[in-house]
Amino acid sequence: MEGLRQVYIGFGGEEAQAVKDIEKTTNHDVKAVEYFIKDRLPELGLEDRAEFIHFGLTSQDINNTAIPLSMAEATADVILPALQAVRDDLAGLAESWKEVPMLARTHGQPASPVMLGKEFAVFVERLDHAIAQFEAVPFAAKFGGATGGFNAHHVAYPEVDWHGFAETFVGEELGLHRSHPTTQIEHYDYMAAWCDALQRIHTILMDLDKDVWHYISLDYFKQKVVAGEVGSSAMPHKVNPIDFENSEGNLGMANAFSDMARKLPISRLQRDLTDSTVLRNIGVPLGHSIMALNALRKGMGKLVLNEPKLKADLEAQWAVVAEAIQTILRREGVDKPYELLKDLTRGNAGIDAASIAEFITGLPVGDAPRTAAITPHNYTGPPEHEEVQRPIPTRPPLPPQPHGKHRVQRPGRGPLAVHIFGHRALSEHPLSHRWY
């Protein structure tokens, strides 16, 4: 078995070229891999077992196990750690700025103040739920012969429990969920769910990119200047939010997953070839996803809070305390308090601390001093606001993801390993003397 493992563990550029050379003749990629493995068996003393390579299988028994296995390992080794790093960076910013008041904007217009940290905690909360949904999607594989029913296997060895064998091989050896029954190909419903879940995460992060971009344009954040960097080829003074723009653009490209999720579960009758073209490109949106996450982290690392600007904007918008005052007047039973504050503040650019204080004077409220103490700087909810002050949980470190008994680190397992490990499982079957 160790010799067989070396066929894929030691697979490199030379071996890949050998497969491609075979494919020039076969015009079939999986058949070229089969012949490549067969060519290696004599040096291992296994030439008499050559016809049990790809025994009873169709190409999708290879592709529909190798690809979800590769996706499972990429998810555990690359995607989830990258998402966790972004999430933890956000949680750190939320904690740092949890006591910084900021003028909110709804519909782009001044609104009741918020805590800046809470606004970042919103994205932490959204990511936690979205990542949990992403992690929960199984990686499904198909393994059942030309049309999913083990026809050829059964006719050759009717005494073998082929479905039991497939459950052991796919579930225990590869650590995947076996879809059954199937046509010639896996349903791709779980893969579509995986694409949709990751797309939802991308959409959340795109929302974050746009928000931070706006905060920078409002001068709420400065950006650390990196020596030697140029913001504009024409305007020397520019320090542009390029990291958030790059992240947003790459997230848009990464959401090509939406087309994959719509296409993959649809295949004519027992199978057509359209899924193959799509699957060959699944690494493209994943590459854009990783570039987006890296750019986002880079951008967040450059943010410098411009607290004087936040304070100045709050001071310039005393009209936002109108909500607080009219709510107190409602409590006190004053007639039409909303309309009173609307007449005072709507469209009135001259509202300031003095005009609000003058309005409050003489109001029929029992705690006028408390009402007068309300300012745009402290009208942010209770001091121990649950959304802001609660400890933000840190996602636990990701456990090792041993997808199957014999998970090998780099290089990842692909069609070669699936061909080989199918025969390892057979070697442990009660009829193993017929195989090895």
Q: What is the dihedral of CA 293, 298, 304, 305, to 10 degrees?
A: 0
**d(C-alpha 240, C-alpha 246), whole Å:** 11
pLDDT of residue 419: 56
Question: Cα separations (Å) of 149 from 61, 260, 425?
Answer: 12, 27, 19
Residue type, 170: V
What is the overall mean pLDDT for the chain?
Answer: 85
Which tokens hold the place of 317?
């918008």
pLDDT of residue 435: 31
**d(C-alpha 412, C-alpha 408), whole Å:** 7
Residue 401 has pLDDT above 50, yes or no: no
pLDDT of residue 340: 86
DSSP characters for 230-261?
-S-SS-TT----HHHHHHHHHHHHHTTHHHHH
Residue 211 has pLDDT above 60, yes or no: yes
List the domains of the chain with CATH numbers.
Answer: 1-53+413-436 (no CATH), 59-307 (1.20.200.10), 318-375 (1.10.40.30)
Q: What whole-number percentage of the chain has pLDDT above 90?
A: 64
Assess contact for 249 and 213: CB atoms under 8 A.
no
The string over 208-220, giving b where at least 16 C-beta atoms fall within 10 Å of a residue's C-beta and e elsewhere, is: bbeebbebbeeeb
Whole-structure pTM value: 0.84
What are the residue numbers of the active site? 107, 232
What is the band of 415 on the pLDDT scale with cuts at 50, 70, 90?
A: low
Highest average pLDDT, of 256-265, 275-284, 304-313, 356-365, comes from: 304-313
Residue 142 has pLDDT above 80, yes or no: yes
**SS3 state at 104:** strand
Assess contact for 121 and 94: CB atoms under 8 A.
yes
| pLDDT tens track for 74-121 | 999 999 999 999 999 999 999 999 999 999 999 999 999 999 999 999
Q: What whole-number percentage of the chain has pLDDT above 70?
A: 83
Tokens 């006028």 label which residue? Answer: 368
**d(C-alpha 79, C-alpha 288), whole Å:** 12
